[in-house]
Every structure is written in structure tokens, then in C-alpha cells.
Chain A
Amino acid sequence: MVWLVVFFGGSAVSCTNREDAWLRIQETKVLRVGLDPTYPPFEQLENDRLVGLDVDLAQAIATDLGLTAEFVYFGYDGLYDALATEQVDVLISALVVAPERGRDFAFSEPYFNAGQILIVPQAEKDIEDMRDLNGRILAVELGAQGHVEAITWQRQLPEMDVQPYNTADEALTAVATGKADAALVDAVSGRLFIRHEPSLRRLPTPVTVEPYAIVTRIEDRLLLENINQSLETLQQTGKLDTIITHWLDN
């Protein structure tokens, strides 16, 4: 299996005995942001123009900190190596908090939960969470995390009928057309689908948590502090919600 790691992944290299990146960033006024622009709507290239939720978030943070965001592209597997080798200052690329990487990297407060959510018809009032699905039909994408989660719940809900579909959109269509009572899908797929399908709504409490966060090198404590402060500001002012809503709900 190592061949994949060597050619498509690589191993992280820890850098020590260096000053906090925040000090240099304050001098240059540039925040170098690493991302993989192949994951819409978080980051993608549209006619060579970089757009997406993470792009807007990075620019909002940079503005809040009095900086300019400079974007550097990497393959998904090379993101952490790029950060470890100081090619960028932070990663803002829909990355899930990974405690196992805590020796080399630090994670900001989460800015988005991409975990599994339940989508139900607008008129459905009896389903508030997974426990209400016994005796009901739950649509999932075949083999996806929602499917795995549904199998786990079936231990507690033996009367729940789990119906797999080839894609998340097909599972959601099954709910819209009355073939299923609910769909369990990831938050991104679910939100993107229901913005064009007003007969459906998402339940407010997520079934699972998959938090996206900004990543810094472990030694860049000042930078992380400033990122977290900025995230808090964006949250308090409603800017973060505006960005998320723009890309996922509007």
C-alpha cells in the first residue's frame, strides 16, 4: 500500500526551531492559503478563477486580520506536506479535524459540519431524529457513510427499512417522490439538493459530526490564535453564516 502514499500522498515532515509564522505574516501582510481546488462548492476553478466557500472564508479571515490571501494549489494528498514544508501558512480546504495529526498540526475551531443529516418532506412532522425512523423507509447512497450509519442504527431500529440508491441525489429524489420517508446523506449533498427542491427540508440536528477546520503547523500558536479569533468574529457578525448560506443554500 505504500506505493500510494509515496506517489500520491507522501509523508509529513515536521519543522521545528523556527519562529511563529504569524510574525512573518505580519511583516509581509500576506496569508498563504493552501487548498485543492477540485471540491465544489468549497473550492473550484471556474474559467481559471478560484471560487468557493473556503475561498470566501479565507478572504474574509485575511481581511479581518488586515492581510491579503494568496492561494496556492495542491493535490488533496499533498496538502499536509505542503503545510509541513512551509509552502503555505494555513490549509483551508474542507479538511476534517484529525486528532491523529496533532503531533505536527493544529486545527482551528470548526467552521462547518459536513456530517450526515436527515432530509425529510416539508410536511413530515413526526420525524425529528433517527429514533423516529423505526417502521419507516430511509433512503441512502449505496455504500456511502450514510449507508454505514444507517446499518449501525438498524441494530436499534429493526423495523427501519434502509433503501440504498446509486447516488445521494437519487436517494433524495426518492424522498421527494414519496418513495422514502427520509434520506440520510452528507450535509453538503443534502443542502445542495434541497435548495432546488423546496418540498424537502433538513432536520436541524446532524446525525453525525464531521467538522471542517483550518489547519496550521503545530508550532504556529500565534497564527492559530489569530485564526480562531477571526473565526469567532466572523461567527458573531453573521459573516460566516452568510458565506455558508451563499454557497450551500441559495
Chain B
Amino acid sequence: MITSRTTLQFATGWRLLLVALLLPLLQPPPVLITPGPPQTVHTTHPILGVHTRLTDEVEEWKIQRTLQMVREMGAGWIVEFFPWAYYHAENGNIAWQHPDLVVEHAHAQGLRIIARLGLTPEWARPPDTPLTYLDETAYDDFATFAAAFAARYRGKVQYMIIGNEPNLSYEWGYRATTPADYVALLKVVYPAIKAANPDMVVLAGALAPTLEPPGSPWGLNDLLYLQGMYEAGAADYFDGLAVHAYGLTFPPEIEPAPDLLNFRRVELVREVMVANGDAETSIFITETGWNDHPRWTRAVRPGQRIAYTLDAIRYAEVNWPYVEMMAIWAFRFPAPTRSYMDYYTLVTPEFVPKPIYEALQAFTGNG
């Protein structure tokens, strides 16, 4: 009996080993994904872009599918975030794999790329500071990364934004935010990018629309902040201004006012630029749109969202010759946030186009 059991166990063991060896052979081979032949965006509204969220998208086919759908919708631009902290090691090594995927696929789809750079690696900031903390001791390190990025993607990435919403203290490492500090950053990073890639268009901002008064712990009014930037000598250190323009509950054609946050606040930003002799510099609206969450107090009904979005594009095309591009926030999230943020998107995480996507697709002549 003992001998039989041993034999049985031995045979079972061999079978298990065989199965273990054979199982990997039964798995399908990894899918080979290539950017494919170069594509062209067909659109009747070349001003239209979208802010993609591929930073946290792991699977290559999803990156490719996202960018295909952007092109098929008739948007010729993407704004995408490339976090410095994710890629740049203290020893100087830069992990280019993920940005390479995004840039290669976007380029293959014929999309113009506005790359937003930000977030500070742990090694480049004091202990116990947040990712958004960037002080002057690390400006040179950031410039090194920005220059490397500009050089690597020459011919494929045409625009770069330095930071994000610097007029908010949250985006400035929870410190008091001053235009002078941000301009000091531009003065280090701008020449480094230009030296690495003279063709790169460097955008400042993107300023967050806010009414926060001077001294507020949260931030500073975007109009005051921009004026402060000019006073600190910013004009020679950016080629275009990135602006965020949300409609909230207002239709796009509502008149702007200094004490109101609405879509046409862009016109007040423009007034500051003109007053400072910077009329030749273009504005890039790197985030815009309406939200259709069922109960968020700053949302509109889904049908209104569609109408307002199309009207806003028409309005910008007719009335704002100084605006080169407007990107709708946000094209798609990799996973649901289960909050009102999901109701800004044009496509679900499962790649189901929302009706607003189809409306935009028809609007651009691709429907």
C-alpha cells in the first residue's frame, strides 16, 4: 500500500510539473502594437483640441485607442501631462518609456501635442513637501529635464507648458504663490528649452480662473497674477499663454466681468496682455468645458453641455483671433472617479463615446 501511494504521488507530481511547463506555451503571445501609418486629422474646426489623461494609462493599446478616438472626433490637438517626478531619477537617468508611447502614438495620429510638465521628484525638494513643491534650488534640475524633453521630442512635440495653475497655492506646494517666483522659474527653464530645441513653443501658465484676493492662502486672482508676471519681467520668457476657461453654469456668450468666473474671462486675460504690450502673443486654452453631473451645483444638463460646448467653439473662432487652440477637459479617464469629475469626459473608461463626443464628431465634419 505504501509503495502504491508513493508511486501514485510520484506520477501526480510529474503530471503537475508537465502542466506547469506546458501552461506558458498555451498563453497567447503578447500583442504587438505599433503606431501604424501616419494619420491625418480631418476637421472643419482646427481650433479644437482635448486634454487627454494618459499619464496613468498603463496599457499601450488604450493609449493608442484614446488617441485614435481623438483624431476620429476631429480634434487636432492634445494637451497631456508629463510629470517630471515620474521619470527623472536622482542619478540623472530619465525613464522615457511611457512618454515615448504617448508621443509616438499621438504623432502617428497626426495630433499636435502640448506637453504640460510639472510635479517635483522627491530628491529635488525638501522632506515632507508635496509633489507640487518646486523652489529655486531645483529650478536648474527642472530645466535640465525640460530641455531633455524638448530635445528628445523635437519635431513631434511642438508646445510645452511650464507648470500648472501657478496662481494656486496648492499647485505651488501649499506656499503663498507669487508671480515673481513663477517668473523666476520661467527665466531658468525657458532659455534651457530654447537652447535644446529652438522650435519649441513655450507656454506660461496655465492660469487657473479664480477670484482669490491678494493675501488669500488659496491663491491669487488670475488677472492680478498675470499683471504681476509682466511686472516681474515675464514677457521675454514665454511664447504663448496657457489659460483655463470653464463655463460653469453660464452659457458661453455671457459677458465677462472681473468678479465673475465664466468662459469669456479669457477676454479679460487678453486685456491684461494688451495693456502690457503683449498683443502679439497667442493664448492657448488648455482646459475648457462644462460639466453635466446630475447634482453638482456648478453643472448643467447634458443637453446644455453639448450646446454650450459647440457654441463656445464657434464663439472663440469668430471673436478670438488671438486664441490658437482650445482643449476640452477631459477626453477620458483610465478609470471612473465616481465623482462629478466623470461628467467632464467625452468618452467613458470603456471607450464608449458619450453623446457629446458624437456631437463634436459631427460638428467637425466627421460624423
Interface residues of A (CB under 8 A from B): 1-9, 36, 38-39, 75-77, 94, 96, 98-101, 141-144, 147-148, 151-152, 164, 166-167, 186
**4 tightest A-B contacts by CB?**
A143-B302, A3-B208, A98-B338, A142-B303
Partner of A2, one of B168, B297, B358: B168
**Chain B residues whose C-beta falls within 8 Å of the C-beta of A148 in the assembled complex:** 348, 352, 354-355
Assess whether A147 is in contact with B164, with CB atoms less than 8 Å apart.
no
Assess whether A77 is in contact with B165, with CB atoms less than 8 Å apart.
no
**Chain B residues whose C-beta falls within 8 Å of the C-beta of A36 in the assembled complex:** 295
Q: How far is the CA of A186 from the CA of B295 in the complex (A)?
A: 13
Assess whether A3 is in contact with B292, with CB atoms less than 8 Å apart.
no
- The reply on B305 being an interface residue by CB < 8 A is yes
Contacts A96-B338, A144-B302 given; indicate if A76 touches B171 (C-beta within 8 A). Answer: no
Assess whether A143 is in contact with B305, with CB atoms less than 8 Å apart.
yes
Assess whether A4 is in contact with B246, with CB atoms less than 8 Å apart.
yes
B18 to chain A, nearest CB (A): 40
**Chain A residues whose C-beta falls within 8 Å of the C-beta of B335 in the assembled complex:** 100
Within 8 A of A (CB), among B293-310: 294-298, 301-303, 305-306
Q: How far is the CA of A35 from the CA of B321 in the complex (A)?
A: 45
**Chain A residues whose C-beta falls within 8 Å of the C-beta of B138 in the assembled complex:** none
Q: How far is the CA of A7 from the CA of B211 in the complex (A)?
A: 10
Assess whether B295 is in contact with A3, with CB atoms less than 8 Å apart.
no
Assess whether A77 is in contact with B302, with CB atoms less than 8 Å apart.
no
Q: How far is the CA of A151 from the CA of B361 in the complex (A)?
A: 15
Give 1 or 0 for each of B226-258: 1 = CB within 8 Å of chain A CB: 000000000000000000101000000000000
B1 to chain A, nearest CB (A): 52
State the interface size on chain B (CB cutoff 8 A): 43
- The reply on B356 being an interface residue by CB < 8 A is yes
Q: List 13 A-B contacts (CB under 8 A).
A: A1-B287, A1-B341, A2-B165, A3-B210, A6-B219, A141-B302, A141-B303, A142-B303, A142-B306, A143-B301, A143-B302, A148-B355, A152-B350
Assess whether A143 is in contact with B168, with CB atoms less than 8 Å apart.
no
A165 to chain B, nearest CB (A): 8
**Chain A residues whose C-beta falls within 8 Å of the C-beta of B329 in the assembled complex:** 1
Assess whether B164 is in contact with A2, with CB atoms less than 8 Å apart.
yes
- The reply on B153 being an interface residue by CB < 8 A is no
In the complex formed, the residue of A with least CB distance to B359 is A143
In the complex formed, the residue of B with least CB distance to A150 is B355
**Chain B residues whose C-beta falls within 8 Å of the C-beta of A3 in the assembled complex:** 165, 168, 208-210, 219, 244
Q: How far is the CA of A6 from the CA of B219 in the complex (A)?
A: 10
Q: How far is the CA of A151 from the CA of B355 in the complex (A)?
A: 8
Q: How far is the CA of A45 from the CA of B72 in the complex (A)?
A: 46
A25 to chain B, nearest CB (A): 27
Partner of B303, one of A8, A77, A143, A152: A143
Contacts A2-B208, A3-B165, A3-B244 given; indicate if A167 touches B301 (C-beta within 8 A). Answer: yes
Give 1 or 0 for each of B149-175: 1 = CB within 8 Å of chain A CB: 000000000000000110010110000
Assess whether B355 is in contact with A143, with CB atoms less than 8 Å apart.
yes
A12 to chain B, nearest CB (A): 11
In the complex formed, the residue of A with least CB distance to B356 is A143
A13 to chain B, nearest CB (A): 13
Q: How far is the CA of A9 from the CA of B335 in the complex (A)?
A: 19
**Chain B residues whose C-beta falls within 8 Å of the C-beta of A98 in the assembled complex:** 338-339
**Chain B residues whose C-beta falls within 8 Å of the C-beta of A77 in the assembled complex:** 296, 340
- The reply on B191 being an interface residue by CB < 8 A is no
Q: How far is the CA of A167 from the CA of B336 in the complex (A)?
A: 24
Q: How far is the CA of A144 from the CA of B256 in the complex (A)?
A: 29
- The reply on B97 being an interface residue by CB < 8 A is no
In the complex formed, the residue of A with least CB distance to B352 is A152
Partner of B168, one of A6, A96, A101, A164: A6
**Chain B residues whose C-beta falls within 8 Å of the C-beta of A100 in the assembled complex:** 335-338
Contacts A143-B355, A152-B352 given; indicate if A75 touches B297 (C-beta within 8 A). Answer: yes
Contacts A1-B329, A77-B340, A100-B335 given; indicate if A8 touches B353 (C-beta within 8 A). Answer: no
Q: How far is the CA of A4 from the CA of B168 in the complex (A)?
A: 11
Within 8 A of A (CB), among B270-308: 287, 292, 294-298, 301-303, 305-306
Assess whether A2 is in contact with B171, with CB atoms less than 8 Å apart.
yes
**Chain B residues whose C-beta falls within 8 Å of the C-beta of A96 in the assembled complex:** 338
**Chain B residues whose C-beta falls within 8 Å of the C-beta of A141 in the assembled complex:** 301-303
**Chain A residues whose C-beta falls within 8 Å of the C-beta of B210 in the assembled complex:** 3, 7
Q: How far is the CA of A167 from the CA of B303 in the complex (A)?
A: 8
**Chain B residues whose C-beta falls within 8 Å of the C-beta of A142 in the assembled complex:** 302-303, 306, 355
**Chain B residues whose C-beta falls within 8 Å of the C-beta of A9 in the assembled complex:** 339
**Chain A residues whose C-beta falls within 8 Å of the C-beta of B292 in the assembled complex:** 143-144
Q: How far is the CA of A7 from the CA of B209 in the complex (A)?
A: 11
B159 to chain A, nearest CB (A): 18
Partner of A1, one of B219, B303, B330: B330
A152 to chain B, nearest CB (A): 5
Assess whether B170 is in contact with A2, with CB atoms less than 8 Å apart.
yes
Max chain A C-beta neighbours (<10 A), residue from B287, B305, B339, B354: B339
Q: How far is the CA of A9 from the CA of B303 in the complex (A)?
A: 24
- The reply on B218 being an interface residue by CB < 8 A is yes
Q: How far is the CA of A85 from the CA of B327 in the complex (A)?
A: 36
B130 to chain A, nearest CB (A): 10
